Amino acid sequence: MAEAGGQGGPSLSSPGAPSNSSSATGNSAAGDAQHNLTASNLDAQDDAQDQTSARDLSPDARNRDPTTLSLSDQSHFSTGLSVDDDSDADSALGDVEAQQSTQSVRTSIYEYIEEHGRTFHRYKQGKYWLPNDEMEQERLDLQHAVFTIRLGGQLSLAPLDSPQSVLDIGTGTGIWAIDCAVKHPAAQVLGTDLSPIQPEYVPPNCRFEIDDAEDEWLFSETFDYVHLRMMFHCFKDHVGVMRSALAHLRPGGYIEWQDWLCVLQSSDDSICGTPLEKWSRLYVEAGNRLGRNMLAPRQYKHWMAEAGFVDIVERKLAVPGNPWAKGKDNKRMGYLQMTNFLDGLHAATMKLFTKGLGWTSEAVELFLVDMRKAIKDPSIHFYWTTYVVYGRKP
């Protein structure tokens, strides 16, 4: 349910938006323009560290202790963001089918459980940490708007050519799948999720099913493209999911994984000592204690190679955490991402900190007061690193 789709049917072709990319056999970094944020302190491992941690690990070993992975960045990429020193900058925002893996639609599928005032999926209860209520559905659609802006209006960066069959894992509200179906009317688009929260009226070439991607895949069809977004915390065995995708892709088909790294960064020292820095560390620790690798996006490139994919490309893109960055598009993106973070903060933090760290709900509430202030503070030049990693089936 972590995925949400886009607006207005953007293309599946690769855009020319500025970014940093690397293949499984090498890396290239764009030069840093003067006054641009450079990610020398970006929270990502260097290639040697990635390769060591990705070697032939079992699912349990891959997720045993992600906090032992370095939180200091040893890679470099140009974020393309520069600080807006204009005190009146805010004014620039403007208009800113068998009952096996795939479940038949039954009454029990539509039952939810309630916790901390929010509703969660009952099917595979507890596997996905975030709610599925109306508030969360609205946030998911907002989240995709941010992705769409960051990807230059695209649904995907993989070099697809007229896909005929598309699978969207963790489809959430289904908006990405719907947009893909509208943009590619000749394609059959299938979205899967643990929660049946997708709309009833969809394009005729789009459908949804209840499914868990970590179960055995029993799809009768094969796909040209498999898409996953914001699923880093959803699986214990990411490579297993990748191998399932490989088995159900046609030769030459692509898998693409798009995720934000949950460790917030700034190129200057403005994030140091703030609640944002503390939240990042605690969020990773909490996920670790609950058996999830919160730093998984760093490993996607190597895991795809381990699963059998080739021509793997990794791109890293910066999303400003609030409207601190210069430029109308960056401000709009920053404002939307600030709203997205604020809207999802309570649900994401409350469950992990109480279950993973043993905090009381009262302690979490107090901490979130300071977090909300920090998220809205334009003097903290923080950003999220978007990992877009795709690979081809030989």
CATH number at residue 387: 3.40.50.150
* pLDDT band per the 50, 70, 90 thresholds, residue 21: low
In a domain, 364, yes or no: yes
Which one has a higher pLDDT value, 276 or 117? 276
Asked whether residue 16 is domain-assigned, the answer is no
Q: How far apart are CA 365 and CA 150, in angstroms?
A: 31
Q: What pLDDT is attached to residue 125?
A: 47
Q: In sequence order, what are the beta bridge partners of 384?
A: 319
Which of 391, 394, 370 has its CA nearest to residue 156? Answer: 391
Q: Which residue has the higher pLDDT, 134 or 52?
A: 134
Four-CA torsion 263, 266, 270, 275, nearest 10 degrees: -10
The rounded distance, in Å, linking the Cα atoms of 332 and 340 is 12
Q: Is 93 inside a domain boundary?
A: no
Q: Is 57 exposed, middle or buried (0-12, 13-18, 19+ CB in 10 A)?
A: middle
Structure tokens at 308: 């059998």
Per-residue confidence (pLDDT) for residue 230, from 0 to 100? 92
- Work out the average pLDDT over 290-299: 93
pLDDT one-digit tens code per residue, 53-99: 333 434 444 544 444 445 555 455 678 788 877 655 554 444 444 44
Mean pLDDT, all residues of the chain: 78
Provide the 8-state DSSP code for 152. T
164 pLDDT band, cuts 50/70/90, is: very high
Q: Which residue has the higher pLDDT, 327 or 122?
A: 327
| Within a domain: 58 | yes
Tell me the pLDDT tens digit for each residue of 347-391.
889 989 999 999 999 999 999 999 999 999 999 999 999 999 999
Tell me, what amino acid is at 324? W
At 76 the pLDDT is 55
Give the pTM: 0.74
Q: How confident is the model at residue 119 (pLDDT cuts 50, 70, 90)?
A: low
Give the domain range for residue 230. Answer: 39-84+99-392
Per-residue pLDDT of 328-350, as tens digits, reads 999 999 999 999 999 999 988 99
Distant-in-sequence, close-in-space partners of 270: CB < 8 Å, separation ≥ 6: 379, 380, 381, 382
pLDDT at 138: 85
Amino acid 75: pLDDT: 52
> What angle in degrees, to the nearest 10, is found between the helix axes of 328-356 and 361-375?
170
Residue-wise pLDDT for 306-336, tens only, equals 999 999 999 999 999 999 999 999 999 999 9
Q: Are 388 and 256 in contact (CB under 8 A)?
A: yes
The pLDDT score that the predictor gives to residue 175 is: 87
pLDDT in tens, 135-150: 787 888 899 899 999 9
Q: Which residue has the higher pLDDT, 4 or 135?
A: 135
Residues whose CB falls within 8 Å of the CB of residue 332, separated by 6 or more in sequence, listed in order: 93, 94, 96, 149, 323
| For range 277-282, the mean pLDDT | 98
Residues 242/255, Cβ–Cβ less than 8 Å: yes
| Predicted pLDDT of residue 237 | 92
In a domain, 281, yes or no: yes
For residue 20, being part of any structural domain is answered with: no
Number of domains in the chain: 1
228, HSE (Cβ side, Cα atoms, 13 Å)? 25
Classify strands 188-193 and 206-210 as parallel, antiparallel or unpaired.
parallel
The pLDDT, as a whole number, for residue 173 is 87
Span 202-256, pLDDT tens digits: 899 999 998 889 999 999 999 999 999 999 888 889 999 999 999 999 999 999 9
CB 79 within 8 A of CB 17: no
Predicted confidence at residue 131, as pLDDT, reads 60
Q: Give the model's pLDDT for residue 3.
A: 44
Inside any domain, residue 7: no
Examine residue 367 and state whether it is found in any structural domain, yes or no. yes
